[in-house]
DNA sequence: ATGCCGGGCGAAGCCCGA
């Protein structure tokens, strides 16, 4: 089962790209972020025509996440537990049956957190605390799971083109990375790093300053796997080529295969 | 790294992203 994650930066603006990529990549499950639209205007038909079931947790103009799956999407849950005041659409998960154990797949869009002296930074850290608590409860329930999405976290200096330039950014400061390590140290595996040890491989390149041709990127989209999912991990890679297409997202898909 | 690009909203120019 091939599971992919992609921050598309507006599903309406990116629909043609997403459909073209789906036809080539043929993922079984897709986690989308920054769809930037409400559930009612999400272009579900385009994906249903390709054989996908669709679950959406949308929001007008900002954020918004969705799941596409060729297998059934069961027990769909919208929103990250832990803060009833939080109305930003940044989390959806569902249980997906497979030939082996069912896998719970989450599509998450972790807050950016900049500027660091604004209320956005503590919101990011609190959101990460809630994600840690959610992962703990999934582990306690012994569900096999994949937490996929745009984490807005640069895990190490190997994951950024210029670590010094990003030293004080909310994606890379110590508090952010410490939360990410707390999450992964629960026993989760950064699937990409199982298959790729070499530094300076990215999932995001800014639209500005010629970041793509200069390969000034960041690795901020991640697939974190539970222990049982890690036991099934096959290949894992980034489809960087779509960044070179016309009208690209600034992020590219990351995917992994869970053996069956 | 300062939003220079790109999207939403809504019909110009501001908000937002990383």
Answer yes or no: is A59 CB < 7 A from strand B: no
Res A172: pLDDT: 97
Answer yes or no: is A21 CB < 7 A from strand B: no
Tens digit of each residue's pLDDT (9 = 90 or more) over A37-76: 999 999 999 999 999 999 999 999 999 999 999 999 999 9
Tens digit of each residue's pLDDT (9 = 90 or more) over A107-116: 999 999 999 9
A248 vs A142, more confident: A248
Closest CA to A202 of A245, A150, A244, A251: A251
Res A19: pLDDT: 98
**A250 confidence band (pLDDT: 50, 70, 90):** very high
**Cα A78 to Cα A9, A18, A88, A255, distances in angstroms:** 20, 23, 11, 22
Element at A224 (helix H, strand E)? strand A221-225
Res A8: pLDDT: 98
**A95 confidence band (pLDDT: 50, 70, 90):** very high
Answer yes or no: is A171 CB < 7 A from strand B: yes
Answer yes or no: is A36 CB < 7 A from strand B: yes
Counting DSSP H helices and E strands in chain A, the numbers are 6, 14
Please give the nucleotide, over all strands, whose C1' is closest to the CA of residue A61.
Answer: B8
- Catalytically active residues of A, by annotation: 109, 150
Q: Considering the entire predicted model, what is its pTM?
A: 0.97
Res A146: pLDDT: 98
**A166 confidence band (pLDDT: 50, 70, 90):** very high
Phi and psi torsions of A209, nearest 5°: 60, 25
On average, the pLDDT of chain A sits at: 97
Res A200: pLDDT: 97
Nucleotide B17: nearest residue by CA–C1'? A112
Q: Mean pLDDT over residues A181-195, rounded?
A: 98
Please give the nucleotide, over all strands, whose C1' is closest to the CA of residue A13.
Answer: B7
**A92 confidence band (pLDDT: 50, 70, 90):** very high
Nucleotide B1: nearest residue by CA–C1'? A165
- C1' (B8) to CA (A14) span, angstroms: 14
Q: Mean pLDDT over residues A208-224, rounded?
A: 97
Answer yes or no: is A17 CB < 7 A from strand B: no
**A153 burial type by CB count under 10 A (0-12 exposed, 13-18 middle, 19+ buried):** buried
- Which residues lie below 8 Å from residue A96, measured CB to CB, with a gap of 6+? A1, A29, A69, A71, A72, A73, A74, A102, A103, A104, A105
**A125 confidence band (pLDDT: 50, 70, 90):** very high
**A34 confidence band (pLDDT: 50, 70, 90):** very high
- C1' (B4) to CA (A40) span, angstroms: 35
Domains of chain A with bracketed CATH: 2-258 (3.60.10.10)
Res A218: pLDDT: 98
Chain B positions under 7 Å from a protein CB? 1, 3-9, 16-18
- C1' (B11) to CA (A8) span, angstroms: 25
Answer yes or no: is A118 CB < 7 A from strand B: no
Q: Mean pLDDT over residues A191-219, rounded?
A: 97
- C1' (B2) to CA (A143) span, angstroms: 46
């Amino acid at each position: 089962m091939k599971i992919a994650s992609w921050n598309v930066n507006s599903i309406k603006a990116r629909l043609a790209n997403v459909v073209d990529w789906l036809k080539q990549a043929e993922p079984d499950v897709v986690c989308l972020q920054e769809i930037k639209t409400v559930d009612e205007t999400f272009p579900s038909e385009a994906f249903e025509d390709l054989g996908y079931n669709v679950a959406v947790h949308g929001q007008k103009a900002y954020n918004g996440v969705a799941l596409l799956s060729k297998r059934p999407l069961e027990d769909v849950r919208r929103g990250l537990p832990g803060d009833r005041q939080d109305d930003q659409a940044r989390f959806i998960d569902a249980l997906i049956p497979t030939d082996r154990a069912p896998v719970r797949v989450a599509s998450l869009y972790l807050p950016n957190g900049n500027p660091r002296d604004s209320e956005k930074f503590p919101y990011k850290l609190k959101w990460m605390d809630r994600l840690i608590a959610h992962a703990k409860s999934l582990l306690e329930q012994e569900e096999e799971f994949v937490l996929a999405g745009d984490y807005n976290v640069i895990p190490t200096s190997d994951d950024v083109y210029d670590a010094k330039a990003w030293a004080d950014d909310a994606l890379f400061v110590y508090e952010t990375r410490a939360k990410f390590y707390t999450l992964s140290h629960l026993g989760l595996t950064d699937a990409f790093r199982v298959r790729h040890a070499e530094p300076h491989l990215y999932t995001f390149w800014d639209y500005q300053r010629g970041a793509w041709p200069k390969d000034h990127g960041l690795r901020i989209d991640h697939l974190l796997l539970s222990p049982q999912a890690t036991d099934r991990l096959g290949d894992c890679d980034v489809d960087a080529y779509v960044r070179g297409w016309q009208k690209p997202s600034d992020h590219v898909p990351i995917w992994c295969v869970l053996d069956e």
